[in-house]
Amino acid sequence: MKENKYFKESEFKCKCGKCKLPPNVPSDELVDVLCEIREHYDAPITINSGYRCKKHNAEVGGAAKSQHTIGSAADIVVKGVKTEEVHQYVLEKYGDKPFGIAIKHNFENPFGGFVHIDTRGKKARWTYP
């Protein structure tokens, strides 16, 4: 993992608890983006989901070709910032980049849900149900 002042490798590990983080995961580009978002808000970021092994990805209902399985994706929450605000910022800042950007709303809690960002190499936008 690229050296940085905000994130630890352990934050990106698969939640299955059994597999190891592959080499060069998360991607350097993803780390750069997350650090920029962290600095923009001057607030900690929680990584709800980083790397996922294929088995765990299937267990949580992830897409078969999920960017999480190659270590180029993260589902994030910025402490004290509404999910929709983070989503809008990511779209404005990175909307012209070949990234996957999505939102999972929590309509009962504007600080719940998460923003997904990945560095897949082509544009993709969606909303989780």
The per-residue pLDDT for range 53-93, each reduced to its tens digit, is: 999 999 999 999 999 999 999 999 999 999 999 999 999 99
CB within 8 Å of 78: residues ≥ 6 apart: 37, 38, 41, 43, 44, 45, 86
The pTM assigned to this predicted structure is: 0.96
- pLDDT, residue 129, reads 87
Candidates 3.40.605.10, 2.60.40.1120, 3.40.190.10, 3.30.1380.10; CATH matching 9-16+24-127: 3.30.1380.10
State the Cα–Cα distance between residues 63 and 77, nearest whole angstrom. 21
pLDDT above 90 coverage of the chain, percent = 99
Tokens read off for 3: 């050296």
Cis ω on the peptide bond leading into residue 129 (within 30° of 0)?
A: no
Q: Does the pLDDT value for residue 120 go beyond 90?
A: yes
